[in-house]
Amino acid sequence: HLALQKKVKELLLMCQEGSLTKFQTALNDCMTSMGLGSDRRVCLETCKDGNKRGALHIAATMGHIHLIKYILSIAPNTVKQMDVNGYTALCNAVTGGQKEAVELLLESGSDIKAASNSGQQAIHVASSVGVAVSSELPEYPESNAAGL
């Protein structure tokens, strides 16, 4: 179990670093440690840190577009995964001020209305950290504006 935790930590560290080659190597090491053979999707969906943040969360925070595209090409459902606080990769991209990552995640099906455990949506997170994302986010009908 400790060896697997080390492999997951390495995978997420390589995701933070941003090297696709090193990330792919770490992903292969994780799959081997988990006994998954070549099932990269399952590995990307299950390998998370102690706060339930996966590779997509980390890549989105850092704005590593090439890694976001790679991860989503293998495990598209990770776009909907939430961390321990209920934040999606979209919220991480917003918090990190990563405009291109926000746009890519929205195009990939990220739910802008998904609420965190505290009820915050990506638009709330943006305003709370001072990130202007109005041009990236879809327009809300007036009836929904008060609910945000």
Mean pLDDT of 17-21: 96
Give me the count of residues in the chain: 148
Strand partners, 14: none
Q: Note the pLDDT of residue 127.
A: 63
On whether the CB atoms of residues 96 and 60 are closer than 8 A, the answer is: yes
CB contact burial 23-37 (16+ within 10 A = b; e otherwise):
beebbebbbebbeee
The alpha helices in 18-111, defined as continuous H runs, are 20-34, 40-46, 55-62, 65-74, 89-95, 99-107
Query: Mind listing the pLDDT tens digit for each residue in 79-137?
Result: 999 999 999 999 999 888 898 998 899 889 988 878 889 888 877 776 665 555 554 44
Q: Looking at the predicted structure, is the pLDDT value of residue 140 above 70?
A: no
